[in-house]
Amino acid sequence: MADASATCDIKLSCRNVWKVYGTDPGAFFPARNGRVDDARAHVARIRQERHIVACADVSFEVNEGEIFIIMGLSGSGKSTIVRCLSRLVEPTAGEVLFNGQDLLKSSRDELTEIRRHKMGMVFQNFGLMPHLTAIDNVAFPLKVQGVAPAERLKRAAEMLDLVGLSGREKNFPSELSGGQQQRVGIARSLAVEPELWFLDEPFSALDPLIRRQMQDEFLRLQKMLHKTIVFITHDFLEALRLGDRIAIMKDGVVVQIGTPSEVVMRPADAYVAEFTQDVPRVKVITVGECMEAGPAPGGAGQIGIGLTLEQVLPQFARGVGALDCIDEGGTVRGHVTPSCVLMALATEDGRAS
């Protein structure tokens, strides 16, 4: 799981966004903002009119530097909403604010400039151009921006080195493995130094071992770059490992938003409970969520407040009695003991009691 280091600054706001397909979807929304008193009843009425509701009254905010996960089963609306955020798909109603600017009111030219200079996008389909080498694929968005050849090739080489592909600059996509191709796609999206990064199931086409390696690479890059990221996945374990917060969607509606532990330990409804029922609690609960106040009397060491119980259990297995829990600044915020861990893991019907 990523270190939840997001600030309180809002980078992206999705407000009451709808996407409806049909003969006249706009007829259901008397005002552009799309706010309705009863979203579920509104969805039912639209569907009775033989329209398809892909996203219904979706609202959330993404903090600067945060990895915000959107997940759900196939057909839940997760990929549609991320395309609405970038206006690759035009929302039927609502607002999308990026740095306070409503993208739905932006002109086509303004939107093009924002995509070229401030947004990065990576999709499941790598989308590499087969006739271009790795370095030319990465340099392509810089070419579109009008960056001089020497400068764009220099930047592209730096990005390839960043994702561990130094020495592969002259290889064509057909000469690279699936994981290497995805690294090229990631390098290409980072070449423009985006403020906001959209990733739509970028690792789902990879085999399990390479997928794990790419998750490691992703976390390494985020630790270095501190991007604001909207990440789409259907894999809950991937969401737990990468996300600061998770939004779960069903039938176009967001049913719960919370930290990984909130979603797993306090599911909003039966759907979320079923979605998360097989997740080991030891991988989710952090020491910060079960620690006791004050420094440990006779503490045997210090651990980060964001570590999961799975990460701290080996120390208690060696006989450690208590550990101080420190924040990123090194300040002691409390202490954790084996008893704290046992109480946190005590369950009733598979849930924390």
Q: 336 forms bridges with which residues in the sheet?
A: 323
Q: Where are the domains of the chain?
A: 10-118+194-278, 282-352
- The three-state DSSP-derived secondary structure of the chain is CCCCCCCCCEEEEEEEEEEEECCCHHHHCCCCCCCCCCHHHHHHHHHHCCCEEEEEEEEEEEECCCEEEEECCCCCCHHHHHHHHHCCCCCCEEEEEECCEEHHHCCHHHHHHHHHHCEEEEECCCCCCCCCCHHHHHHHHHHHHCCCHHHHHHHHHHHHHHCCCCCCCCCCHHHCCHHHHHHHHHHHHHCCCCCEEEEECCCCCCCHHHHHHHHHHHHHHHHHHCCEEEEEECCHHHHHHHCCEEEEEECCEEEEEECHHHHHHCCCCHHHHHHHCCCCHHHCCEHHHCCECCCCCCCCCEEECCCEHHHHHHHHHCCCCCEEEECCCCCEEEEECHHHHHHHHCEECCEEC
Question: pLDDT tens for residues 31-84?
Answer: 656 666 667 777 877 877 788 999 999 999 999 999 999 998 888 999 999 999
The pLDDT of residue 3 is 44
What is the band of 5 on the pLDDT scale with cuts at 50, 70, 90?
Answer: very low
Supply the pLDDT for residue 37.
Answer: 64
Please tell me the class of the 282-352 domain: alpha beta
The span from the CA of 166 to the CA of 159, in Å, is: 9
Q: Of 89-93, 123-127, 132-136, which gets the smallest average pLDDT?
A: 123-127
For residues 6 and 257, the model is more confident at 257
Mean pLDDT taken over the chain: 86
Residue 324, burial from CB neighbour count under 10 angstroms (0-12, 13-18, 19+): buried
Q: In the sheet that 332-336 helps form, which strands lie side by side, from edge to edge?
A: 302-304, 323-326, 332-336
Q: Say how far apart CA 228 and CA 194 lie, in whole Å.
A: 9
The encoded tokens of residue 194 equal: 């985006």
Tell me the average pLDDT across 227-251.
92
pLDDT tens, residue by residue, 199-226: 998 888 778 888 888 888 889 888 888 9
Q: Which of 74-88, 97-111, 298-312 has the lowest mean pLDDT?
A: 298-312
* Top-confidence residue, 175 or 164: 175
pLDDT value for 351: 45
Amino acid type, 278: D
pLDDT over threshold 90, residue 30: no
Token pair 């374990």 in the structure block, residue: 237
Lowest mean pLDDT among 231-240, 268-277, 339-348: 339-348
> By percentage, how much of the chain surpasses pLDDT 70?
93
Question: What pLDDT does residue 220 have?
Answer: 87
Average pLDDT score over residue span 18-38: 78
Assess whether pLDDT exceeds 50 at residue 353.
no
102 phi and psi angles, rounded to 5 deg:
-75, 110
Domain at 10-118+194-278: CATH code:
3.40.50.300
Q: Which pLDDT does position 319 carry in this prediction?
A: 81
How wide is the angle at C-alpha 229 spanned by C-alphas 223 and 232, nearest 5°? 120
**Residue 8's pLDDT is what?**
59
**Partners of residue 69 on adjacent β-strands:** 231, 246
Q: What pLDDT shows up at residue 36?
A: 67
Task: Please tell me the predicted confidence (pLDDT) of residue 346.
Answer: 76
Q: Does residue 2 carry a pLDDT above 60?
A: no
What torsion, rounded to 10 degrees, do the Cα atoms 131, 137, 143, 144 define? 90
Report d(CA 315, CA 323) in Å as an integer. Answer: 9
Kindly report which listed range (29-43, 135-149, 295-309) carries the lowest average pLDDT score. 29-43
Q: pLDDT digit string (tens) for 322-343?
A: 889 998 888 899 999 888 888 8
Q: Which residue has the higher pLDDT, 293 or 34?
A: 293
Name the nearest CA neighbour of 63 among 239, 235, 219, 257.
257
Q: What does each C-alpha distance from 36 to 28, 29, 30, 76 come to in angstroms?
A: 10, 9, 10, 20
Q: What is the pLDDT of residue 33?
A: 62
CA separation for the pair 63, 44 (Å, rounded): 32
